[in-house]
Structure 1
Amino acid sequence: MRPVVLEAAVAFLLGYAAGSVPLGLLVAYLFAGIDIRRHGTGNVGAANVREHAGRAAAAVVALGVFLQGLLPPLAARLLGAQEEVVAAAALGPVVGYGWSPFLGFRGAGRSGSPPARRRPSPRGASWCCSGRTRSGRC
């Protein structure tokens, strides 16, 4: 039996490292040469990037943040990790995005969490697309 706690801790830390990279800050600097924290709301999220660096930059940020939340648990699942390890890998990017060491342990919000909340499984996907939500919308 493998030490699940150690694997989960490593998966969490790797996910945290992936999620803590402030893509909005990097992309806004590359696309427009600005420090996005000094413009608009000061948030490094895609909405603020769109306002000050353009739609293409915002699309890159949105896709990148989505992938930050999706890839760690997906990689853990593809490597055959147990469910606890996959859950830790899914939680890491959410925490890293919310409390990034690159931003003084202040992040942009919760954009990394939607892929983490939607487990990459057929049953989860069917529930998500069936329209059975509290609001009645999918």
Structure 2
Amino acid sequence: MNIHEYQAKALLKTFGAPVASGVPVFKAGEAEAAAAALPGPLYVVKSQIHAGGRGKGKFKELGPDAKGGVRLAKSAAEVVANANEMLGHTLVTKQTGPAGKQVNRLYIEDGADIARELYLSILVDRSVGRIAFVVSTEG
């Protein structure tokens, strides 16, 4: 099953899981309204493609110094600038291979001032027929 992050978070929310507020965006013109709908003042602009490694990925059409597919924005204007730079462009990650995937949607999420970031994954280990939890400091 391939669903985007914003779809997974909406599903988790229906079951009462605490999820940060966010708004999906399909056109750059929707980015400012999305930021206005969130508390701010920090926002996270996230590319929505079916691949991991989005934060470390690079856009084919942008220079080598350009930021990846997950970006922190400190104002609504930065959200809009990032949306303009990301939507419609091709994000290349370790999982996409050199062809990359076109970013056709973003998820604008309410940012948080965090001291430490951890990643959690729940997966099925078919070799032993059990569920496994993986926790890491890097995604």
Shared topology, TM-score over 0.5? no
Give the TM-score normalised by structure 2. Answer: 0.24
Q: Which is helix-richer, 1 or 2?
A: 1
Give the TM-score normalised by structure 1. Answer: 0.25
